[in-house]
Structure 1
């Protein structure tokens, strides 16, 4: 028999209190004031029923927790699904805006470059035309002067002129008659 007030181990490993605290009873044949120990033990069937009830409570609690967790997960996934679709849409919109900006910048760059190149070519063309006009004017002046120049003691002059973009070349030959 077990000692009062102690816990004993049950077969399944659960701690159960098999004993109540000792109580003193007086009367009904107890005149000495002796200590009476009353030990109440559950039968194995009652223990099994309690364990089954506890197991059912645990299973029910577990099922409820799983159900609640599934609800939370479904809600979270739904939220994430919405967030993902919103993120995808905003990302696509940002890509479209970036492409539009990139295209607009490229077009603007192309227009400015084209304008710069055209201005440069116009300036070069004007400068070359101005230089050509100067050279041509110089040639006309030289030809006119030589045509008016009639020197009988001098030999005949034959000239050849080459005009380039940067300078003027004269080849003058003197021919004696």
Structure 2
């Protein structure tokens, strides 16, 4: 197939190539140049030592439209690559945030469990000490009551004391008569 003309339209966002068919190919721009431009390098210095690729007589000179198309395509590839890299980085960051939050939550739970165990142990120890103190006070009061009752009953059986007692909300009410024999 032969082309009559090649038209390249470049905008800031898109590039389009229009090929119109004709009878004769118009590919004159692909043929190599007749004369090579003079080299700006000194005689005897290789262009490879400066990082400049050497242009031989068999390499065609690119057209400006082809250069624009290639630049656009390279830019598209770079943008696509950068987009993929950014998406992959974003996925990794999202995963890391979730994993880090799980780790922090696990640590918080462990610390909370240790704290509740210590608090429970302290509360249990305080309760045991309070119980021991109350029980000791109760046993002393019971022993004193038993002693008082024993002495009271012995006095009543001997006939030395006559009376009765009553426990009220305000205290102990006693009515005692001492008999002297």
Q: TM-score, normalised by structure 1?
A: 0.57
* Structure 1: distance between partners of 2:135 and 2:168: 18
Aligned to 2:164: 157
Q: Indicate whether 1:108 and 2:114 are aligned.
A: yes
- Residues 155 and 161 in structure 2, CA contact (< 8 A), matched pair in contact too: no
Aligned to 2:27: none
Superposed counterparts of 1:86-97, under 5 Å: 86-97=92-103
Query: Could you report, residue by residue, the CA deviation over 1:67-113 in whole angstroms, capped at 9, with x for unpaired residues?
Result: 11111111111211221111111111101101100111111111111
> Following TM superposition, by how much is the alpha carbon of 1:155 offset from its aligned partner in structure 2, in angstroms?
3.3
Q: Indicate whether 1:123 and 2:129 are aligned.
A: yes
* Structure 1: distance between partners of 2:104 and 2:131: 40
Bigger-Rg structure (1/2):
1
Superposed counterparts of 1:156-175, under 5 Å: 156-160=163-167, 171-174=172-175
Aligned to 2:83: 77
Instruction: State the aligned residue count.
Output: 116
* Structure 2: distance between partners of 1:154 and 1:71: 118
* Structure 2: distance between partners of 1:109 and 1:93: 24
Q: Please, which runs of 5 or more residues in structure 1 have no aligned partner?
A: 1-55, 163-168
Instruction: Kindly report structure 1 stretches of 4+ aligned residues shifted beyond 6 Å.
Output: none
Structure 2 residue corresponding to 1:139, chosen from 145, 153, 157: 145
The root-mean-square deviation of aligned C-alpha atoms, in Å, is 2.7
* Structure 2: distance between partners of 1:142 and 1:175: 14
Q: Please, which runs of 5 or more residues in structure 2 have no aligned partner?
A: 1-61
> Following TM superposition, by how much is the alpha carbon of 1:154 offset from its aligned partner in structure 2, in angstroms?
4.2
Structure with more relative contact order (C-alpha pairs < 8 Å, separation 6 or more): 2
